[in-house]
Amino acid sequence: MSQVVIDISVSLDGYVTGPNAGVGNGLGDGGEALHTWVFDGTDADRAVLDAAFDATGAVIQGRNLFDVIDAPDGWNDELGYGAKPTGEVNPPIFVVTHSPPATTRLGDRFRFTGSPAEAIARAREVAGSKDIMVMGGGQICHATLAAGLADVLRLHVAPVVLGGGTRLFPAEASPAAGLELIDAVSTPAAQHLTYRIVKEK
């Protein structure tokens, strides 16, 4: 069965974007440093990215992230999921939102659902044996983790302190999660840490 994998880049102080993130400024002020490993990384960084892309059968994301990548200056023919050209065979993307748009610039790869649980259920129908990748933003990643719906948490920890922006983990109390480190790759641009989420018996 497919694993549900939360996969996201994060700063040392726990932010997945810098301040003032939104359409036209998707990673926020200074947030580009979170993805240095994607665009200017080493062969080891690229291997991490390629392995995740190859293992992905479906993607889940939130509405804010969708609005950024479907905007006119968002993804294009040279850039899509996994920093791959959009002309390649890309996995379907399930967007969690209560207000789906009437049209999408990037076509029918996007499907809209009302909750993380519904998105995961629909993603399982198309993912086959491949993973379901929850890629962001921070709110949908944390909601999936807090609801006990994820099997794996993969963090790409960038060597930057952003000081503000979109948190991965909320400031207020939230459900705890036990983690077991199963893989670690260290590069100058990121610490790629993969944890198995320990399920309560």
pLDDT digits (tens, 9 = 90+) for 113-165: 999 999 999 999 999 999 999 998 999 999 999 999 999 999 999 999 999 99
Span 36-67, pLDDT tens digits: 999 999 999 999 999 999 999 999 999 999 99
In order of their start, the domains of the chain are 4-9+23-198 (3.40.430.10)
How many other CB atoms sit within 10 Å of the CB of residue 80? 21
Distance CA 123, CA 182 (A): 24
Residue type, 50: D
Distance CA 201, CA 13 (A): 32
> Where does 29-70 have alpha helices with state H?
36-39, 43-55, 63-70
Distance CA 46, CA 40 (A): 9
Distance CA 172, CA 55 (A): 33
**Model-level pTM?**
0.93
